[in-house]
Amino acid sequence: MNRFELNTQFAIANQLSFDQGNGDWPFIQIHNAHARATISLYGGQVLGFHPHHATDDLMFLSERAFYEQSKAIKGGAPICWPWFGADTSGMNRGAHGFARNQLWRVVSTRELADDGATEVVLALNPSPKSLELWAHTFELTSTITVGKTLKIALVTHNTSDTPMHLTQAIHTYFKVGDIGQTQVLGLENTQYIDNAVGGNREIKPQMGAIDFTQEVDRIYTHTPPIMQIVDAAWQRNIQIQATGSHSTVVWNPWVEIAKKSADLNDGDYQEFVCVETANAADDCVQIAPNASHTLSAEYSITSLLPTFGD
């Protein structure tokens, strides 16, 4: 569908509309009583979420992001599916699966009666190309709820007659004021696989909060459902609540990788951290025929500044 057809079928007056975004792909623009948000149908990817009470957007989106077929958009919340990380199949498939490089279709849009939040349901179905890469039939849906919080619920339904195994992640780029004044809390006393340069995939313990003074590329295992990003430079706290996940990926490319990345400015590493709700490493999901699995993350922003009277 083009944006005119999409607006005819799925627009919500004074709340949701479709426009032509970068790459000539349809973008969903949401502006409701709680927040503004932008969603790209290419990748089924939330590109921005700005609650009205917050001073800045939740998400980082690179000024140099690619908006080209077969390339991922750098920023927002890319969907890594049905495998996370480098391909280990020997088939020479690209990293992080194919969902983030496909055009998703709109299933439904609606205003939620209880609080005026906006719900968008997107779907991705098999294609001849996807079946070459991954020999399963499936229905993948993403339910995106834009309200006081942002919720992304990724549901994989196995429509094939054999079990499927997958790894996946909601690869969210969180915007921060200064990576040097940023910490991630909630993963204390867990262990992680160190995938950074020189890390050699060693398993290491996490002692205390996660600070950023060098490249961080880690898969945390057996992780709790709630984590926080403390963004001291902007005096805000970002809470992440995950379901359907027992692993969390934390990533910041640091100086050298940012310089080598064509879709990042050299200094962009200072302005974001990725904390990814995932099924990764040993947290591999098996889905029986006609069964489903849901991976979801809910994000909220609160101020670190004391309120009047505290």
Q: Report how far residue 178's alpha carbon sits from residue 93's, in angstroms, rounded to the nearest whole number.
A: 35
Structure tokens at 42: 């290419």
In contact, 49 and 238? CB cutoff 8 Å? no
Q: Give the residue among 62, 297, 310 at the shortest CA–CA distance from 171.
A: 297
Structure tokens at 6: 């999409």
* Residue 240 neighbours by CB distance under 10 Å: 22
Q: Report how far residue 79's alpha carbon sits from residue 98's, in angstroms, rounded to the nearest whole number.
A: 9
Residues 215, 276, 293, 298: which is the catalytic one?
A: 276
**Which pLDDT value is given to residue 308?**
44
Instruction: DSSP letter for 3, please.
Output: H
Which residue(s) pair with 303 in the sheet? 236
In contact, 58 and 175? CB cutoff 8 Å? yes
Q: Report how far residue 182's alpha carbon sits from residue 202's, in angstroms, rounded to the nearest whole number.
A: 24
Q: Report how far residue 274's alpha carbon sits from residue 168's, in angstroms, rounded to the nearest whole number.
A: 14
Q: Give the residue among 37, 6, 1, 30 at the shortest CA–CA distance from 16.
A: 30
Q: Report how far residue 17's alpha carbon sits from residue 35's, in angstroms, rounded to the nearest whole number.
A: 14
Q: Is 212 exposed, middle or buried (0-12, 13-18, 19+ CB in 10 A)?
A: buried
Laid out side by side, the sheet with 16-20 consists of: 16-20, 26-31, 35-40, 45-51
* Preceding omega of 82 cis (within 30 degrees of 0): yes
| Predicted TM-score of the model (pTM) | 0.96
How far lies 237's CA from each of 63, 254, 304, in Å?
Answer: 24, 22, 6
Residues 171, 215, 293, 298: which is the catalytic one?
A: 171
Low-confidence ranges of the chain (pLDDT < 50): 307-310
In contact, 159 and 290? CB cutoff 8 Å? yes
**Which pLDDT value is given to residue 157?**
98
**Which pLDDT value is given to residue 1?**
85
Q: What is the pLDDT of residues 7-60, one digit of tens each?
A: 999 999 999 999 999 999 999 999 999 999 999 999 999 999 999 999 999 999
Q: Give the residue among 176, 203, 205 at the shortest CA–CA distance from 275.
A: 176
HEC letters along 239-272: EEEEECCCEEEEEECHHHHHHHCCCCCCCHHHHE
Active site residue 215: no
Q: What is the pLDDT of residues 167-184, one digit of tens each?
A: 999 999 999 999 999 999
Q: Please state the separation of Cα 106 from the chain's center in Å.
A: 18
Q: Is 128 exposed, middle or buried (0-12, 13-18, 19+ CB in 10 A)?
A: exposed
Residue with tokens 């969902």: 99
Q: Give the residue among 238, 308, 244, 302 at the shortest CA–CA distance from 274.
A: 238
In contact, 139 and 121? CB cutoff 8 Å? no
Active site residue 293: no
Residue 12, SS3 per DSSP: strand
